[in-house]
Structure 1
């Protein structure tokens, strides 16, 4: 089956040509993704920057696929205007820039790439550990200011030192492997049970990790539980010669408390790549309490900003969205029932997204029972149900019309 057409609403005809499917890509998404969408025959508009909410509300009215990175905010107001939106692609690790619950209630799957930039972030952290240990950032500034300062005071090798990783997921575990390879001893703390890699060992609680680590690196999501996970109290548990590194989420660390600890010599240094609020575009005028703190490396959210990572992310997320558009495969979505079903030759495919409630499948099956159904799959997530059914070609139009008329139906598409 080559599903060249999709049905976008109950009031339209059976199909919509692929060149009528509008793709809006924001924030300079890698050209590999742009080309993949163009190769499908989609109508692609790619912008190098994020756009404000008001502009996005206007632009999204005719958009079927929206792609973004971390700066664009897809709010409830934006989604309310997205009458034709079929899928959202977050071309990054996180999805907190999208109101996932509202997207789910509208039957819009959100896809991301949780693995592809893990190596890039891990390499940055390891590089910063070495730079902090040798005060490279300060020496670099001095040299550019024509100051020659050769000294070894409070400069150390990282071999044999303890790296504490908070959040032992894809990035944290990747970092532990790299750190062990250069001779560090690695411990971690995670709220979920995780299998340690190499000689890495788990700490029973956050405090024990902070008290015993020479370097602490954060790799946790942005949740209510992780907001200000590291504040003044937690910083006081760390050794004065220890370093804090954060490349996870900006709200995980109390920036004011960290700046105070650095200026008072309660920490030996820090490296920060993420901040509670970040500019929507490049330019001057960015201000932080951490500016001017001793032995502090500040970077503009570049943890995953390598050519290799961005290309891999572009290809993965684009592939997930294309699979969803072309055959209804929802595997890889973070807010949608997961289903991937091989295509049955010589059929039309019905895709129905509905609100789960008693009797909904009875009503759908009653409709399908009158026709020859080659394949049928139901998956659910929370209050959302997703049906994939391959049916006789000559029956698809009637089936689609009748399923769409059910009160629980959110969206129904036909692929052929």
Structure 2
């Protein structure tokens, strides 16, 4: 009987679908994610791994799992999985592409709007009884319409962000490795520097790679308008948080809204949490019932296909393991 490990609690429908396959299904139901050692211990006889962003699935984990055929990541990004190590061992790596693009763009635009119109802080002021008398120059916010949005990374999520901005009559620029055939009304610029200099809002949607780690740091913040707002819903390491703190304190940029941080969760005593012009969400851009359910069922499809000896529908490394895949052994 094949064995499947799910490293966090999941929807009952997903659990039932896994069990209906006849496999033994183990669901980690602890309050916290398994530690790295817990994960190593748990995968000894596992054929399929349904993993999450908090799991570092490296060569050590894979070597502890001689039967492991397939790893399905609950999400689009899979930088927590050592894909090179998986390729060397013939293990299929999968993700859940496309399904969370709209939900993530919804949150990114909500963060933009909240920062622009100050809906993140002013309600708390009202609750403290600090509304005060009418002041024509008080509590001023920023318009969204006719402002310039710079999108860094025009993949599925960046494209959805451009669509939402168009509905608010924004001027949209984008910077991407390649110019898109379909641009959704946005204008391509060929350098990060230009998009930073021209934008009132900068929204990051690029993947995390060695080249994009700390992509936004001291020099980049100095290029931005002093009135500009940064939105990050991609990966925490793309932004140098120490440099961001200094830029926010010095007034080099007006504000930042982050759905992702380094580390996660961000420590309660982190300096960014002391700033009124920094809004931080607990990595929930895809966290709607509908989207997370679809993601869970895509993971089920991936894992069940892999343990049955079939190519998972959302495999990211099929080309590299086509001749060595364990699922075909």
From 322, 332, 336, the counterpart of 2:318: 336
Say whether the 8 Å CA contact 2:70–2:327 is kept in structure 1: no
Count of residues paired in the alignment: 324
Is 2:241 aligned against 1:263? no
From 28, 35, 45, the counterpart of 2:26: 45
Is 2:158 aligned against 1:172? yes
In structure 2, the CA distance between the partners of 1:327 and 1:78, relative to structure 1 (3 Å rule), is closer
In structure 2, the CA distance between the partners of 1:286 and 1:83, relative to structure 1 (3 Å rule), is farther
The answer for unaligned runs of 5 or more in structure 2 is none
Greater length-normalized contact order (CA 8 Å, ≥ 6 residues apart): 2
Deviation string 1:11-54 (CA, Å, 9 cap, x unpaired) is xxxxxxxxx21111012233332222112122111124420111
- TM-score of the pair, normalised by structure 2: 0.92
- Please state which structure has a larger fraction of its residues in strand: 1
The corresponding residue for 1:182 is 168
The corresponding residue for 2:123 is 140
Q: Distance in 1 between matches of 2:78 and 2:149?
A: 28
Deviation string 1:98-123 (CA, Å, 9 cap, x unpaired) is 11111111111011012111111101
The answer for unaligned runs of 5 or more in structure 1 is 1-19, 338-380, 387-408
Is 2:55 aligned against 1:72? yes
Alignment of 1:307-346 (within 5 A): 307-337=289-319
Deviation string 1:320-357 (CA, Å, 9 cap, x unpaired) is 222233351244212233xxxxxxxxxxxxxxxxxxxx
Secondary structure, aligned partner of 1:241: coil
Q: Distance in 1 between matches of 2:267 and 2:113?
A: 29
Q: Bigger shift: 134-143 or 62-71?
A: 134-143
Say whether the 8 Å CA contact 2:307–2:327 is kept in structure 1: no
Say whether the 8 Å CA contact 1:251–1:275 is kept in structure 2: yes
Superposed CA RMSD: 1.9
Deviation string 1:306-328 (CA, Å, 9 cap, x unpaired) is 11111111112211222233351
In structure 2, the CA distance between the partners of 1:31 and 1:294, relative to structure 1 (3 Å rule), is same
Deviation string 1:192-228 (CA, Å, 9 cap, x unpaired) is 2322433111112111111111100001111111011
Q: CA deviation at 1:166?
A: 0.1
Q: Distance in 2 between matches of 1:118 and 1:74?
A: 24
Q: Distance in 1 between matches of 2:8 and 2:130?
A: 39
Say whether the 8 Å CA contact 2:310–2:327 is kept in structure 1: no
In structure 2, the CA distance between the partners of 1:24 and 1:288, relative to structure 1 (3 Å rule), is same
Say whether the 8 Å CA contact 2:49–2:70 is kept in structure 1: yes
Q: Distance in 2 between matches of 1:255 and 1:32?
A: 39
Deviation string 1:225-247 (CA, Å, 9 cap, x unpaired) is 10111111011111011100101
In structure 2, the CA distance between the partners of 1:214 and 1:196, relative to structure 1 (3 Å rule), is farther
Q: Distance in 1 between matches of 2:11 and 2:159?
A: 26
Q: CA deviation at 1:188?
A: 0.4
Q: Distance in 1 between matches of 2:71 and 2:79?
A: 13
Q: CA deviation at 1:285?
A: 5.2
Deviation string 1:271-299 (CA, Å, 9 cap, x unpaired) is 011112114xxxx9533221122322111
